[in-house]
Amino acid sequence: MAKVLMKGNEAIGEAAIRAGCLNYFAYPITPQSEVAEYLVRRLPEVGGVFLQGESEVAVGYMIFGAAGAGVRVFTTSSSPGISLMSEAISYIAAAQCPAVFVNIMRGGPGLGGILPSQADYLQATKGIGHGDCRLLVMAPASVQEAVEMVMKAFPLAEKYRNPVMILGDGLIGQMMEPVEFPDQLKTEPSNKDAWATNGMDHRKSKTRNLVKSLFLDPVQLNDNNLALKAKYDRMRAEEVMSESYNTDGDYKGLIVSYGTMSRVCRTAIDMLKTEGIDVGMIRPQTVFPFPEKAVAEAAMKPSCMHVLSIEMSMGQMIEDVERSVKGRIPVSWYGKCGGDIPTPEEVIDVVRERIA
């Protein structure tokens, strides 16, 4: 297929359809309302379901209901909206249903602002809802990558029967870039007859299915949490994705950065290289599971003296970076999160000050 120029939000909507997801529930919030505006026209063309819910709270449970019934379903929102959905996300994870949530992050806390931010990192990777639940979280750095990640998200959600989140900053949603869509996915949610409330008549077993998260018996609840933990451990073993940049030769410092911020860092690294200063970069593509090994290995290069966690937040991912580096060399943070994305020049200044 030829490349098309598309806004990130619209491309995300189209990617879901190409992933075989024809069910979308959402509530408007800047900077991602274009997903709904795109899908309200596009889904009827393919026989899909579109509904604007009355709140993000309700949408979370519309997703839960539909996911429990065994169909591919997704929603998109932005930071405050995701907070409201986080209750449902906890229930969906506990009940082990597959669903995809896209968070096009804006500045917080509170109402914050509407410009790009990465300040929901800890929420997405560690604190998405109450209880011991985790999401598999992928963080795209371009519109093309957002499309690819959305298309991967559905099979992954089904593989683990767990919610998957696409964590993009506002720019990923608002920017237009050329996109080439991968081939339409032909798969379906596999093995759904074993757990989904898709109606007994549809199943060979003719026994009823139950989608629930209540375990009043402490042994049963512990067992359910152990089953969830086993899945999260498996994600850590099988799903880590990261990209390295300028790490082949020696470098004095290492940047860890993701999403739009990592692109700014890449430009800064190119500019520094022309001055004879080498800095490497690890760009996490999954932030849960975090690419601990890739960061640790890159930081352990003998020439590397310092690791910088550069993020559009007040220092959230740095906790994972520090955990990976394990105190062997200094780790420090740089970032902004009011929506004013740091420029390559600002990154260069920080590198000069702390590394070069």
Among 73, 100, 167, 304, binds other proteins (CB under 8 A): 73
Where does this chain touch other proteins (CB under 8 A) — which range of 161-169, 219-227, 288-296, 335-343? 335-343
21 touches other proteins by CB under 8 A? no
Tokens of 273: 């290289």
Least spacing, CB of residue 251 vs other proteins, in Å: 17
Strands 286-288 and 136-138, bridge-based pairing: antiparallel
Applying CB under 8 A, does 45 fall inside the site for other proteins?
no
- 100, 163 contact by CB (below 8 A): yes
Q: Exposed (0-12), middle (13-18) or buried (19+): which is 302, by Cβ within 10 Å?
A: exposed
Site string for other proteins, 109-128 (x = CB under 8 A): ----xxx-------------
How many C-alpha atoms does 265 have within 13 Å on its Cβ side? 29
Q: For residues 289 and 339, which CB has a smaller minimum distance to other proteins in the complex?
A: 339
* Residue 83 within binding range of other proteins, rule CB under 8 A: no
212 binds other proteins (CB under 8 A): yes
* Shortest Å, Cβ 116 to other proteins: 9
CB of 245 to other proteins, least distance (A): 10
Candidates 49, 84, 240, 329: give the one binding other proteins (CB under 8 A): 49
13 or 113, CB closer to other proteins? 113
Long-range contacts (CB closer than 8 Å, 24 or more residues apart) made by 47-53: 47/22, 48/17, 48/22, 48/23, 48/24, 49/22, 49/23, 49/24, 50/24, 50/25, 51/24, 51/25, 52/25, 52/26, 52/27, 52/28, 53/25, 53/26, 53/27
Indicate whether 176 belongs to the interface with other proteins (CB under 8 A): yes
Residues 6+ apart with CB under 8 A from 337: 107, 117, 118, 119, 312, 313, 314
Residue 196 beta carbon to other proteins: minimum distance, rounded to whole angstroms: 8
Alpha-carbon distance of 94 to 243, in angstroms, equals 31
Nearer to other proteins, 195 or 251 (CB): 195
Collapse the DSSP code of 343 into the 3-class scheme (helix H, G, I; strand E, B; otherwise coil) and give the result: coil
Residue ranges that bind other proteins, judged by CB under 8 A: 3, 5, 23, 25, 30-31, 49, 51, 53-55, 57-69, 71, 73, 87-88, 91, 95, 113-115, 170-171, 174-178, 197-202, 206, 208-214, 260, 263-264, 266-268, 270, 339, 341, 343-345
